[in-house]
Structure 1
Amino acid sequence: MKPLLTYLIFMIFATAFPLSAATQPDSPHRVVVSGGSITEIIYALQEQQRIIGVDSTSVFPASATQKPQIGYVRRISAEGILSLNPDLVLGESDTGPKKVVEQLKKTGVNLVILNEHDNFLGIEKKIKNIAQLLNVPAKGDVLVQSLQADRNALAHILKQAKTKPNVLFVLSVRSDQPIVAGAGTSANELITAAGGVNAAASAITSWKPLSTEAALAINPDIIITMGRHGDDPLPKIEKLAHFKYTNAVKNGQVHSFDGSYLLGMGPRTPQAVVELAHTFHPKTRLPSGYNYQFLQTAQSTTDKATNKTSDL
């Protein structure tokens, strides 16, 4: 089914059969969220009226940022949460600190931490889990179905791909030191899913600084980095001694993606990985009839060098 048609069916379903807290007496109707992907999923389920508080990573859609704030996902405030009088607190696996989570448990508040399915292959299960907690399982099923077009498009690209580029994922730069994704990271999973090879995986686990010598030895074909809140990280990456002599910089293969779009593990992530795969394999074609449903965020050094706006 074409993604636009699936989306229209979903919107018609949501309008005609609004399974809301008002019609489901056992459903939570005062929900506090710790984790941007959970907020995004609840909005996609058309149940955002239940949200009474969010953490600072809940930046999509933009209207979510207007909700009362409970702090950063790893540094949430127990007092801030309890002051909102929630009947459900939903948190991602990295919700913390641990002492605050334990404090919330002792108060008896209905706290659910989603430790499972917080990965690329588990997004659909996470959606269904959240829809079940909100007592709107049918909406969850429809939203899950809408992601199938992205999964199919990714498989279509990978079937055409002839090579696997060597990719380095730079999360941020701190004091001229790049923090990169090693084995066991979400970025490592996405690089592999998009048909690339994580250049740092054999030498690094988790997120760690990369020395100039190690970067030059890796010599990635492509560098992926994160842009946030309008920040343009590309010039900084190109000028670093770590990367300025690499194939990626020489060939204009440094690309930035919006962080919550690519790493969020929410409803937009399957499309973001399609975009990532097309970046890795630009000569491949998307399947006939496939359309991006969300705004694409990729920018590259090639686009800037030619004064063109990326069409990805």
Structure 2
Amino acid sequence: MLHRLTAVALLFLVATTTAHAEVCATDDRGKEVCLDSPAERIISLSPGATELLFAAGAGDDVVGVVNYSDYPEAARELPIIGSLKRLDVERILSLSPDLVIVWVTGNPKEQTERLEELDLTLYYLEPRDFEGIASAIERLSTLADTKEVGYREADRFRAGIESLRDEYGDADPVPVFYQVWDQPLMTVNGEHFIHEVIELCGGENIYAELDRLVPRIDRESVLAGNPEAIVAGGMGEQNRDWLQEWKQYGSLTATERGNLFFVPPSTLQRPTPRLLEGGATLCKKLETARERR
């Protein structure tokens, strides 16, 4: 009888320990973040982080987001706790989060430091390349105990990238200017994940060698670079106005050949699995440019 009670006690101890097992993941600052148990009340401080949380299977655990967290549709129904640049700290505290996902370069430092002072657990995220995106999904799913969903989605993303690479890896190069913003005029350098998508499609980023990740440039340098294709997002998913400006420069190869291409910005400017959609669109646009030679 004593042996039986001891066995039952051990089983109870194991079950209790498992239920409250610590979970850990390294964030994009290289810091290991540990929780006493999987996160159940998560706040996202960027639209990209919101998408990654849903991709990781943790959407049901998200209790607050910043504005413009518009994908997937369920994210639109969540409480707003401010914007990327200005957080409502009191609102965040009222939601009692056990995990806050911070965007490394997007959120105000003084406010994120304040959240740390208030003993909230912060996890810094900002993937810079394809593998970083897949890894982010896996790490978030670890913290939320949704690894089955998260790891499956990460594998789907990796496979989709490889499929595009197989299809366009040997395509003739197309010199590309990618416009991130209009005023001031901005682009991306060779360290940015958008550059990686351009290369995936057989494009050549004419600003790859610049030092800043998202450098400011002028129109004269674009004219001097004479890209074969100009690709832009815009202020919205259907807003193509940024491309109108380039139509006045008839000497540009991109303008002369009609290679002024719009790609919905949320599919190409957020490091999330939707890069597969944006990448497929961009690859088709650059294939059109090749056909117009």
TM above 0.5: yes
**In 2, distance between residues paired with 1:121 and 1:270?**
13
- After superposing on structure 2, the runs of 4+ consecutive aligned residues of structure 1 that deviate more than 6 Å are none
**In 1, distance between residues paired with 2:202 and 2:269?**
16
- C-alpha displacement at 1:151, in angstroms? 1.9
Amino acid at match of 1:63: A
**In 2, distance between residues paired with 1:38 and 1:76?**
15
Residues 244, 74 of structure 1: alpha-carbon distance in 2 compared, 3 angstrom cutoff: farther
Residues 159, 229 of structure 1: alpha-carbon distance in 2 compared, 3 angstrom cutoff: closer
1:132-147 to 2 correspondences below 5 Å:
132-147=142-157
| Secondary structure, aligned partner of 2:180 | strand
Identity of aligned residues (%): 23
| Secondary structure, aligned partner of 1:201 | coil
Q: For residue 232 of structure 2, what is the aligned residue in structure 1?
A: 225
Deviation per residue, 1:88-112 (Å, 9 max, x gap): 1112222421111111111101211
Whether contact under 8 Å (1:55, 1:73) holds in the other structure is yes
**In 1, distance between residues paired with 2:250 and 2:187?**
16
User: Matched residue pairs, number?
Assistant: 258
Residues 88, 159 of structure 1: alpha-carbon distance in 2 compared, 3 angstrom cutoff: closer
- C-alpha displacement at 1:241, in angstroms? 7.6
Residues 245, 210 of structure 1: alpha-carbon distance in 2 compared, 3 angstrom cutoff: farther
Amino acid at match of 1:251: R
1:20-169 to 2 correspondences below 5 Å:
26-115=37-126, 117-161=127-171, 163-169=172-178
> Is 1:259 the counterpart of 2:269 in the alignment?
no
**In 2, distance between residues paired with 1:208 and 1:243?**
22
| Secondary structure, aligned partner of 1:173 | coil
| Secondary structure, aligned partner of 1:200 | coil
TM-score (norm 1): 0.73
Whether contact under 8 Å (1:190, 1:273) holds in the other structure is yes
Q: CA RMSD in A?
A: 2.7
Amino acid at match of 1:140: G
1:265-276 to 2 correspondences below 5 Å:
265-276=271-282
**Runs of 5+ in structure 2 lacking a partner?**
1-17, 21-36
TM-score (norm 2): 0.78
Counterpart of 1:208 (choices 209, 215, 228) is 215
Counterpart of 1:171 (choices 171, 180, 193) is 180
- C-alpha displacement at 1:204, in angstroms? 6.2
| Secondary structure, aligned partner of 1:89 | strand
- C-alpha displacement at 1:76, in angstroms? 2.7
Greater share of helix = 2
